[in-house]
């Protein structure tokens, strides 16, 4: 997966993991709750998670919550240092595009944050 021009789904997953470790269903819920949230299908989520693991953007955790409080089948994921750099790079790229759009008169100052 290339770090330039992330898909909205990949970007949403990285943002969801920025705020802490999560299992797959919690990632799906966090993505939905994001402003302008995207509804991901489980197959899309797990395909992206697999690719992000392979690329080193996220890590699967070995440690687990108390089994009495959690389903042992769940896999937990964490944003890696590389993943955080990819996320920051993409957000900076998008910020630059928004600034250019404002300068071109395509967005008024109050249209987007």
Confidence check: pLDDT of 1 > 70: no
The answer to pTM > 0.95 is no
pLDDT of residue 38: 80
* CATH 1.10.510.10 fits domain 8-64+72-103: no
The per-residue pLDDT of the chain, averaged, comes to 87
Q: Could you tell me the two tokens for 23?
A: 């299992």
Whole-angstrom distance, CA of residue 66 vs CA of residue 56: 27
Q: Which of 77, 95, 97, 98 is nearest to 16 (CA)?
A: 77
Classify residue 93 by burial, with Cβ atoms within 10 Å: 0-12, 13-18, 19+. Answer: middle
């Amino acid at each position: 997966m290339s770090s330039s021009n992330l898909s909205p789904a990949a970007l949403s997953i990285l943002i969801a993991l920025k705020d802490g470790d999560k299992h797959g269903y919690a990632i799906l819920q966090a993505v939905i709750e994001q402003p302008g949230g995207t509804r991901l299908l489980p197959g899309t989520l797990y395909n992206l998670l697999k690719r992000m693991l392979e690329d080193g953007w996220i890590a699967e955790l070995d440690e687990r919550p108390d089994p009495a409080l959690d389903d042992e089948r769940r896999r937990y994921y964490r944003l890696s240092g590389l993943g955080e750099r990819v996320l920051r790079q993409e957000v900076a790229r998008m910020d630059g595009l928004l600034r250019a759009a404002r300068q071109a008169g395509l967005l008024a100052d109050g249209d987007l944050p």
